[in-house]
Structures are given as structure tokens and as C-alpha cells.
């Protein structure tokens, strides 16, 4: 073995049990997610510079074969361009890495920063490399600080490439307890295979940002207008029986299932980890919940499945 080969072999990171990289926009819940992973048995490190990731994983492997969660955010903006190539190198070396990106609507982020009275990390004017160069002075406040919305949009720009290759989780409508459950479910789903996520939601509260496909079932008969069904949900047998008896419900269910079945192999060939299918109705209580539950049951033998009920879970 040549000296070059010896050095290359020494630099390789031995495969670890599991590595989860948590990133996302400031205020989207990264601290909550990291605490959830810590409670689930992960060894967690916040804001590790990407340059130290390889050495850190080598030390972890040498000490103990345990699951590791690492938070990376815009505070390491200067190093972010090097992160994606590094993650791919580590995967090529056999390291099992899952990247989870938390995001939220701008309105939700502005509200959270206003409630906590914290400054956004990009509020102070700093010269940043890459897409921020050449920004106008008008983008900042007279005191040299960026307006909050400008800082949020700049952060989205800096993290855009990382978001594209991550599993995205929309936290706009989630309470902390709900987010903790969703994160634990996400990392415990099937490894090395495509996981189908079926999520019900209410259109009146906005479309989930993490949806790969969105289906609108508001055109179908609504159990809300049946007095005895109104307080129930799509998980209850009387509501399911009512919807199952509607021909148009069965027709749309069959069409959505056929569409997903047709394209599922292509997503698997594309090495996708998660495919989020969002089903929306007016209130996120009856029709969308029934569709999410029924589709998950239909595909359970075909792929790993997760079920989320954004509006219902928020009540628990």
C-alpha cells in the first residue's frame, strides 16, 4: 500500500451506528429537535463546524458505537459550501447519515422572534461569502442591522442547497411537544428504504412546506355537515363508514393510490429517503384524516409508512 493510500485510509471514518444532521432556519425548532433526539438516546452536539465533522465522527467511533445527532446552522455560514461534499464523501465511505431540515413560514418565524425578543443570528451586518456578496445597503437598517424579514430571507438563501437534499419538516403549525414526537418518528422509520409520509392538514391553516405532493379532497362530501359525525374524526369508524359509502371518495382514493404506486419505484430508484404526501380538507378533521389513514394502510406492505395529522396532533 502506497503512502497516499495509507493517508487516505487513515482519513476514512469507520461506519457509525447512525448519524443525524439537524439543520434549518433559525426559530424553526432545532433546539427542540435536538432535545428530542437526546431523549431518544442520541449523543447530541450543537453547532459543530463542518470542518470538524470528520474528526468528531472518528473520535466517536473510537470511543463508543452510539447514535450521534449534530446541529448545523447558519452560524457556520462560511463553512456551509463545504458541508454537502463532505456529507457525500462520508456516505460513500459507508457512514449512515440522515439530514433533517426544519423550516417554517416567514410569518411563523417573525411571530416566534417577536414573542421571544431574540435577535436573528444574521441581524448584525457581517460580510458573508457566496450569494450574499453584492447585497445593497438598502437591505439593512440605518443602525447597520438587517430587518428581521431580510435576515430570514438571507438565511433561506444561504441554506437553500442544504434544504434541497434534506428531509424537510414544516414546523409552522407545530407545538414543541408535537415536534418532538414527529422528530422521533422520523429518525426511527425504516432505514435505507423509501418512507412514505401521509399527512393530513387543513387548508385554512396553510399547505405544509414539507409536502412533495398535495391532494385536495375538499370537493368530497363533508361529514362535518352530518350532526352526529361532526365531533368525530376520520379515525373513527362512523366517519370512515360514511366516507367509504360515497362513490366519489372511493374513486379519488383509487386514483391517488394508483398514481403513487405508479411512481413509487422511480422515487426508490432516485435514492429518496422520504416522500411526503399531504392530503388537505377544510378543517383537517374528517376527510383528510380518513384519506391519510387509508392510504397508509394500503401502502404499509409496500413501503415503510408514517402518519401525521397536523391539526389533530396539535390538539393532543
What pLDDT sits at residue 62? 65
What is the tally of structural domains in the chain? 2
Asked whether the whole model's pTM tops 0.75, one would answer no
Computed over every residue of the chain, the mean pLDDT equals 84
Average pLDDT over residues 133-153: 62
Least confident piece of the model among 130-144, 234-248, 251-265 = 130-144
What pLDDT sits at residue 6? 36
Average pLDDT over residues 276-292: 97
Domain that holds residue 280: 195-315
For the CA atoms of 104, 110, 116, 118, the dihedral, rounded to the nearest 10 degrees, stands at 100
Helix (H) or strand (E) holding 164: helix 148-164
Residues 82/51, Cβ–Cβ less than 8 Å: yes
Residues 49/78, Cβ–Cβ less than 8 Å: no
C-alpha–C-alpha distance, residues 304 and 301, integer Å: 8
> Confidence class of residue 75 from pLDDT cuts 50, 70 and 90?
confident
Domain harbouring 175, CATH code = 3.40.50.300
Give the chain's end-to-end CA distance (angstroms, integer).
Answer: 60
C-alpha–C-alpha distance, residues 292 and 286, integer Å: 10
| Of the residues 188, 221, 243, the one at which a domain ends | 188
- Which of 172, 178, 264, 252 lies closest to 215 in space, CA to CA? 252
Burial class (CB in 10 A: 0-12, 13-18, 19+), 93: middle
| Of the residues 140, 158, 188, the one at which a domain ends | 188
In tens, the pLDDT along 2-33 reads: 444 434 444 455 555 579 999 999 999 999 99
Asked if 83 and 98 sit in the same domain, the reply is yes
Asked if 22 and 171 sit in the same domain, the reply is yes
Asked if 141 and 214 sit in the same domain, the reply is no
- Name the phi and psi angles at 135, rounded to 5: -70, 150
- Name the phi and psi angles at 78, rounded to 5: -65, -25
| Of the residues 138, 158, 188, the one at which a domain ends | 188
| Cβ contacts of 246-252, under 8 Å, gap ≥ 24 | 246/220, 246/221, 248/219, 248/220, 248/221, 249/220, 249/221, 249/287, 252/215, 252/217, 252/220
C-alpha–C-alpha distance, residues 265 and 255, integer Å: 17
Asked if 84 and 204 sit in the same domain, the reply is no
Average pLDDT over residues 55-61: 82
- Residue 266: partners with Cβ closer than 8 Å, 6 or more residues away: none
Name the β-bridge partners of 101.
23, 168
C-alpha–C-alpha distance, residues 316 and 313, integer Å: 5
Asked if 169 and 206 sit in the same domain, the reply is no
In tens, the pLDDT along 180-212 reads: 988 988 887 645 578 899 999 999 999 998 899
C-alpha–C-alpha distance, residues 82 and 1, integer Å: 29
Sheet bearing 195-202, strands edge to edge: 213-216, 274-281, 195-202, 304-309
Amino acid at each position: 500500500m502506497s503512502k497516499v493510500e495509507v493517508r487516505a485510509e487513515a482519513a476514512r471514518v469507520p461506519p457509525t451506528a447512525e448519524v443525524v444532521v439537524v439543520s434549518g432556519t433559525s426559530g424553526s425548532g432545532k433546539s427542540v429537535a435536538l432535545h428530542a433526539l437526546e431523549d431518544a438516546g442520541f449523543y447530541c452536539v450543537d453547532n459543530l463546524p463542518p470542518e470538524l465533522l470528520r474528526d468528531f465522527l472518528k473520535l466517536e467511533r473510537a470511543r463508543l458505537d452510539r447514535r450521534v445527532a449534530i446541529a448545523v446552522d447558519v452560524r457556520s455560514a462560511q463553512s456551509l459550501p463545504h458541508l454537502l461534499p463532505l456529507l457525500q464523501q462520508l456516505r460513500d465511505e459507508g457512514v449512515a447519515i440522515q439530514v433533517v431540515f426544519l423550516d417554517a413560514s416567514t410569518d411563523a418565524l417573525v411571530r416566534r422572534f417577536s414573542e421571544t425578543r431574540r435577535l436573528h443570528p444574521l441581524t448584525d451586518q457581517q460580510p458573508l461569502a457566496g450569494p450574499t456578496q453584492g447585497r445593497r445597503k438598502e437591505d439593512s437598517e440605518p443602525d447597520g442591522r438587517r430587518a428581521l424579514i431580510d435576515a430570514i430571507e438571507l438565511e433561506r438563501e444561504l441554506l437553500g442547497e442544504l434544504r434541497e437534499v434534506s428531509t424537510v419538516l414544516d414546523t409552522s403549525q407545530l407545538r414543541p411537544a408535537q415536534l418532538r414526537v414527529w422528530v422521533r418518528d422520523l429518525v426511527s422509520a425504516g432505514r435505507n428504504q423509501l418512507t412514505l409520509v401521509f399527512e393530513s392538514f387543513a387548508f385554512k391553516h396553510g399547505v405544509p412546506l414539507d409536502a412533495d405532493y398535495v391532494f385536495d379532497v375538499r370537493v368530497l362530501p363533508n361529514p362535518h355537515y352530518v350532526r352526529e359525525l361532526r365531533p368525530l374524526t376520520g379515525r373513527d369508524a362512523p366517519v370512515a363508514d360514511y366516507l367509504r359509502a360515497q362513490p366519489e371518495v372511493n374513486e379519488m382514493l383509487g386514483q391517488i393510490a394508483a398514481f403513487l404506486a405508479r411512481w413509487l419505484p422511480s422515487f426508490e430508484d432516485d435514492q429518496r429517503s422520504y416522500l411526503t404526501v399531504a392530503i388537505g380538507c377544510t378543517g383537517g378533521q374528517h376527510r383528510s384524516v380518513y384519506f391519510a389513514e387509508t392510504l397508509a394502510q394500503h401502502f404499509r406492505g409496500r413501503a415503510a409508512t408514517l402518519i401525521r395529522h397536523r391539526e389533530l396532533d396539535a390538539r393532543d
